[in-house]
Structure 1
């Protein structure tokens, strides 16, 4: 579930019982020293010590499993990963403030991932942008959705152990919470393996995908009546161009006002829902991806919906094994 996390811990939060520059820096590799600042690494984690403040950033899944593509971490594994990171640094990461949270899951799809990205058109209040054709962003000041070709990313990073994955098309959907405190209030490391907190992150990840306006698949014109003909013409346009972006552009140019923009977007969504519901002999690309995300959401909710008593039991069992 968790990919990149950023932890911030101050010496005063540990009652000044430790000096980060003296006692944490000696545990790091690739160390660089600056004026009252030390930067280094511990495995895949970037560690930045700025006076009495410790900043740790990196993929928690990669820290624990060695990679972030094979599977996601379960609740008790998240707890174990955070504790092992703290043990390696010699500080309690559970007490650290969390300022960034990325959650992500990979999906094996039938075709190359960029084909699916072209079907994700518009998300109200988010800026849509592409980095080449393998990556798609929906960006806002406090959070960001990213869709990309995971295999392409792994190859570009020089990962060689891909024999079991070489024939797969892996699409990764990543949600980045850039302003954690604004969105959730104060979040500490110990919150990351809280069942309710994990479920709230998962809900945001799922709902935001579902709220994206998606491209209508190619449709035929209907001449069953004037209304049907007009709607099918609009649907045909929607299958060829990004009508949502066209409306946004008209609004930015002040060719339409906010009331017209709202009404037109609502009508596009209404027509889109009608034609998306049409029976097709073969599931569309967007139907395939949405079904996979739907199924993952249901499965993940079951995995992360763990009562405190059961979680404590699982934690004890896991601690005994490890």
Structure 2
């Protein structure tokens, strides 16, 4: 469930020379940056990066990938603790003063239908701004920058970013939240060592689930905007809005069938309505399946082993 972390340690908590030697010994040196009041060195270890200066150490990377090598497999509480232990071993000093800057929680959901079909269900929660990338990723960013929600096609993401990693061709929807200033509101502090606390871990997992529950889901397609490209398109777009407001195509078709107009008129009206596909209802089972899969993942990750 926990994936990417970002944390920071102030310089008074470590010996700069000792830590520099440790990182130089165990990590790959990336670059050196000189600025007005000093310099910073960037080191890389697997998928983690460390920015070291005399004032602070900042670290960022995926705990999930650090432990498993990828973030496709499930990642439980016991494994999270072991992954943090490996950071202690790597840096070889006490991380008790490390402050969390970001915690990402995510789960990969195996779905029955193509991933992009579930995106049609999602609408932007109040207090967030929506973003989308093609037909692959949906973002909802909280206006105060405290949190982000992301829904995306995990298989497409893996194939695009890691061609050497073998992944099954399956419908894998990844739901992820990125916690920033919201961390302290959820667990009461921002300490890295709080991730060892089973109760605080459970609060993070619950926040992941509750955040999903706050996303409004549609059971029918949203109304399209009025189209002004031609008189015909303009008329059709208004008709679609009217039909949607009355309950959709099926409702109007039922009304036509029960009317006393002639067969020729009925046939003409039915043909016209069937062409207005944008007003069809979404399949309700998609929402039911997504709700079930998120709840199932929530219960699975509440377990401590």
> 2:69 matched to which residue of 1?
66
Alpha-carbon offset, residue 295 of structure 1: 1.9
Instruction: Give 5+ residue unaligned stretches, structure 1.
Output: 219-229, 238-275, 305-313, 315-322
Normalised TM-score (structure 1): 0.70
> 2:151 matched to which residue of 1?
147
> 1:156 matched to which residue of 2?
160
Q: Which runs of 4+ in 1 moved over 4 A?
A: 16-19
> What does residue range 212-231 of structure 1 map to in structure 2 within 5 Å?
212-217=215-220
> What does residue range 1-322 of structure 1 map to in structure 2 within 5 Å?
1-14=1-14, 16=15, 19-35=18-34, 36-72=39-75, 74-140=76-142, 141-162=145-166, 165-180=167-182, 182-184=184-186, 185-217=188-220, 233=245, 235-236=247-248, 284-301=285-302, 303-304=303-304
- Bigger Cα displacement from structure 2, 26-35 vs 51-60: 26-35
Q: Distance in 2 between matches of 1:153 and 1:107?
A: 14
> Quick one: structure 1 residues 180 and 208, their matched pair in 2 at CA, closer, same or farther if it must change by over 3 Å?
closer
> Quick one: structure 1 residues 94 and 118, their matched pair in 2 at CA, closer, same or farther if it must change by over 3 Å?
farther
Larger Rg: 2
Contact 1:99–1:180, Cα closer than 8 Å, also in 2: no
Contact 2:100–2:192, Cα closer than 8 Å, also in 1: yes
Instruction: Give 5+ residue unaligned stretches, structure 2.
Output: 222-241, 250-280
> Quick one: structure 1 residues 300 and 231, their matched pair in 2 at CA, closer, same or farther if it must change by over 3 Å?
farther
> Quick one: structure 1 residues 203 and 52, their matched pair in 2 at CA, closer, same or farther if it must change by over 3 Å?
same
> 1:258 matched to which residue of 2?
none
Aligned residues: 247
Contact 1:25–1:38, Cα closer than 8 Å, also in 2: no
Alpha-carbon offset, residue 134 of structure 1: 0.5
Query: SS in structure 2 opposite 1:120?
Result: coil
Q: CA-atom RMSD, angstroms? A: 2.6
Normalised TM-score (structure 2): 0.73
Contact 1:98–1:180, Cα closer than 8 Å, also in 2: no
